[in-house]
Amino acid sequence: MATIKLNNGHQMPQVGFGLWKVGNETCADTVYNAIKVGYRLFDGACDYGNEKEAGQGVARAIKEGLVKRSDLFLVSKLWNSFHDGPRVMPIAKKQLEDWGIDYFDLYIVHFPVSLKYVDPAVAYPPGWTAPDGSVQLSNATIQETWTAMETLVDAGLARSIGISNFQGSLILDLLRYARIRPATLQIEHHPYLVQPTLLQLAASEGIAVTAYSSFGPQSFIELDWQKAHDTPVLFEHGVVTGLAGKYGKTPAQILLRWATQRGLAVIPKSNNADRLKQNLEVTGFDLEKGELESISALDRHLRFNNPTDNQRLDKRCFPAQKEVDTSFELHSMYIFSSINYSATENEDELHAIHDIYQCNLFAELFSKRRPTPCKYV
């Protein structure tokens, strides 16, 4: 099985199984069957609401001798409601108890958004809204949260820690104070949302990237999101189907190979036994350089996992990707600890840039000052 060596020396399987949207009634069997097929990495989260069932599938496979715990790479995530420093370790311990394990191979900050604490006895998983239906932000900083994440490594509760849904400005800020660097960055990544500058930044900083929602709109159609319904299905795009025919692969395998051949990890899911096996077999053939580029050329800067589309969050916190790219490129922003406000004299533009930076969310870094060649092409 192909693996990616993390910046702390641990090996992470390049192809894993994502547990988002796996129902509670089927999750235990799904995990067990995926282990039988050959999956070793399982990507879970508090917010998915199925960690107990995932743990049951793992326990069954271990009990039957299919695998040992050390054979598996189990991933979970810290939800937004537990970003306050003193809340991090207790919730991580609860999640470990739900899984029935002693440590996570990788524990990730799910979103760079801090929400007010919700007692698990009141609502679990708490979701984006408080019990009264409102969105209530916490004053916890990412530095406070990350410092608490580092204590999980110190305590042996997590072997690696990482981040998800972070963009360039926040990553560079985090790297200035991190005692333990993030081992991985998990992002939405598919041919409609390539984010090459962000990938270049991650590569130059030695942060492995895991792509989620590798099939673009397909991952969101079952949620009945209008944006997904309005977007051409990648499985039916001529570029993808043409390559599938040439190589005798499924469109899904072509999309996954486009990611893995460029050095990314992927975490697809399927309830179909044949597709389970097919999705695992995406490192044994190579696309030509021009073919990789033809898939990347489908980029629309189109993000589907935008919480402001479906939650009561200030839309300035999740600006449209293309708007951010354009804004940062026009003003040649080099974001480290401050903004180069002298790049523009327009007051409205200054306020817009300040809002984007202050929100620290989904702002693509314009990083021409980092010439390091990127493996994510």
The pair phi, psi for residue 48, each rounded to 5°, is -75, -20
The alpha-carbon radius of gyration of the chain (Å, integer) is 20
CA neighbor of 310 nearest in space, from 196, 223, 209, 181: 223
CB 189 within 8 A of CB 364: no
- Which of 48, 117, 192, 357 is catalytic? The answer is 48
For 49: left if phi > 0, alpha if psi spans -120 to 50, otherwise beta; the answer is left
CB 282 within 8 A of CB 266: yes
CB 127 within 8 A of CB 147: no
Virtual torsion, Cα 191, 195, 197, 201, nearest 10 deg: -110
Tell me how far apart the alpha carbons of residues 234 and 241 are, in angstroms, rounded to a whole number. Answer: 9
The pair phi, psi for residue 192, each rounded to 5°, is -85, -10
25: burial class by Cβ within 10 Å (0-12, 13-18, 19+)? Answer: exposed
Tell me how far apart the alpha carbons of residues 97 and 153 are, in angstroms, rounded to a whole number. Answer: 17
CB 140 within 8 A of CB 83: yes
Tell me how far apart the alpha carbons of residues 34 and 72 are, in angstroms, rounded to a whole number. Answer: 12
Token look-up 């009561």 returns 312
Report the half-sphere exposure of 68 (CA within 13 A, side-chain side). Answer: 2
Check if 48 is active-site. yes
DSSP per-residue letters across 332-360 = T---SSS--GGG---HHHHHHHHHHHHHT
DSSP per-residue letters across 270-325 = -SSHHHHHHHH--SSS---HHHHHHHHTT-----S--HHHHSS--GGGS--HHHHH
Name the residues annotated as catalytic: 48
